[in-house]
Amino acid sequence: MQLRNKIFNNYYKIHGKFLDGQINNNLQKWFNSVCDNSYLDHLPSRQSQILEIGCGKGYILKWLKNNNFTKIEGVDLSPEDVKIAKEYVGINNIYYGDVFNYLSNKKSTYDCILGKDILEHIEKNKLEEFLNIIKDALKPGGKVIFQVPNMDWIMASHERYMDLTHEIGFIKESLAQLLRLYFVSVEIYPVEYNFSSNIIGKFTFKFINPIVVNLTRLWLKILGAGAGDCWFEYREILGVGKK
């Protein structure tokens, strides 16, 4: 726990700074595409109370603000990221803190709670407490949206071990299994990451990619029962639960 806390307290300086560097427009465009394609349809109204856990530098909060979501806030364990996010997003409702303490007195407060690449950082013996406190902080009918690395992806070992604070991994079945314990309805979706802007990239994604994926899926199906159903082509997956 001491090492874990030390990492998070210095997260930007020892990890985030080298992973994605300073705030930049290209990265914001990438987040915009993720949110437009994977988040927007699952979010409540623009006047809803939305909390992002592990907001980092604030790219998703910036997208929310630019899309006229008016009641947004964030919380993160990295004090440096919180400082950057406040300045970048231009709101004061971004806080440094542990979500267990932050949500302890916020029962039935939020219409939606977001968490991109958060669940994999929670120790397995803490998931019960974590998800219960998330559920309690949601209003009746509220939603939770969790994006996590997909351990069925062809480069899943990279995602699993790229960060010392990763504690657990998920595929679509195990993510659904966990969320169904706490939410009345659960859906799992793939997250699309290919947002090519040039002609060659668009052609490859639309025509070549499906051929390669289907041939690989056929090969996996031949290898063993059930293997053909894995989402090997998606780097991340999205779990949506409703209270």
- Tens-place pLDDT, residues 137-190: 999 999 999 999 999 998 999 999 999 999 999 999 999 999 999 999 999 999
Q: How confident is the model at residue 221 (pLDDT cuts 50, 70, 90)?
A: confident
CATH code at position 238: 3.40.50.150
Three-state SS at 197: coil
pLDDT of residue 217: 79
For residue 77, give the nearest of 95, 97, 60 by alpha carbon: 97
Instruction: Find all residues with CB under 8 Å of 141, minimum gap 6, and list them.
Output: 242, 243
pLDDT of residue 226: 59
Would you say how long the chain is, in residues?
Answer: 243
Domains in the chain, number: 1
Q: Which residues pair with 188 in a beta bridge?
A: 239
pLDDT of residue 68: 97
pLDDT at residue 213 is higher than 80: no
134 φ, ψ to 5°?
-65, -50
For residue 16, give the nearest of 81, 104, 112, 88 by alpha carbon: 81
pLDDT of residue 8: 85
Dist. CA 56–CA 194, nearest whole Å: 22
Please give the residue that has the higher pLDDT: either 13 or 221: 13
Decide if 225 is inside a domain: no
Decide if 213 is inside a domain: no
Mean pLDDT of 58-74: 97
Decide if 106 is inside a domain: yes
Q: With b meaning 16 or more CB within 10 Å and e meaning fewer, what string describes 45-71? A: eeebbbbbbbbbbbbbbbbbeeeebee
Decide if 110 is inside a domain: yes
Decide if 223 is inside a domain: no
Q: How confident is the model at residue 201 (pLDDT cuts 50, 70, 90)?
A: low
Please give the residue that has the higher pLDDT: either 200 or 47: 47
Decide if 210 is inside a domain: no
Q: How confident is the model at residue 73 (pLDDT cuts 50, 70, 90)?
A: very high
pTM over 0.75: yes
Q: How confident is the model at residue 15 (pLDDT cuts 50, 70, 90)?
A: confident
pLDDT of residue 203: 67
Q: What is the mean pLDDT of the chain?
A: 91
116-120, 148-152, 228-232: the lowest-pLDDT one: 228-232
Q: Token pair 């899926």 is at which residue?
A: 217
Q: Token pair 């939020």 is at which residue?
A: 110
Q: Look up residue 201 and give its amino acid.
A: G
pLDDT of residue 211: 82
Instruction: Write out the residue range of the structural domain in which residue 144 sits.
Output: 2-193+233-242
Q: How confident is the model at residue 202 (pLDDT cuts 50, 70, 90)?
A: low
Residue-by-residue DSSP string for 124-150: GGGHHHHHHHHHHHEEEEEEEEEEEEB
- Tens-place pLDDT, residues 83-102: 999 999 999 999 999 999 99
Q: Quote the tokens at residue 97.
A: 């803190």
- Tens-place pLDDT, residues 34-62: 999 999 999 999 999 999 999 999 999 99
| Residue pair 231/152 in contact by the 8 Å Cβ criterion | yes
